[in-house]
Homo-oligomer: A and B are copies of this chain.
Amino acid sequence: MMSQQQEIAQRIRELGFRLTPQRQLILDILSALDRHATATEIYDQVQSVSPAVNRATVYRTLNFLCEIRVLVAGTISGKTVYEIADPTPHHHLVCTGCKHVTVLGDHHFEELAAHLLDEHDFQADIDHLTIHGLCQPCRAAASG
């Protein structure tokens, strides 16, 4: 039984990449936060611990970790956010009224993915979608 951090470390090395202190720090921060965070939020936390780490390194690390699927990125209300990827994908509903964010299981999209494969010969990679709209309370408030 490996910890999540150990599994990630192994994955990075297996792919021929290196586990640097900068990468570990960013993973620690995201692991402790346990929620969506913007690049700036992450950079600020990195700074408060290791001021020598450069901004470019943070951006490059976030992109790198997304590419090897250790992280997932998403756009929520116009902001790019990052988090550690779950073993099973999840998605989000975002209310444009109250800005509330809810989690959505992957199964809602399986049907869609099947259609895209059937009808368009396209293997969709639906990882971490965000769907904007209006929640029930906000709809009631708007129409009432």
Contacts and interface: CB of A to CB of B under 8 A. Distances in A.
Contact of A120 (B102, B109, B112): B102
Copies in the complex: 2
B133 A122 contact: yes
Interface in A50-104: 75, 93, 95-96, 102, 104
Interface in A88-138: 93, 95-96, 102, 104, 108-109, 111-112, 115-116, 120-126, 129, 131-136
Contacts of A112: 108-109, 111-112
Contact of A123 (B115, B120, B133): B133
A93 B122 contact: yes
Contacts of A121: 135-136
A139 interface: yes
Contacts of A125: 96, 131-134
A78 to B, nearest CB: 9
A142 B121 CA distance: 15
Contacts of A120: 93, 102, 104
Contacts of A111: 111-112
A140 to B, nearest CB: 10
Contacts of A108: 112, 115-116
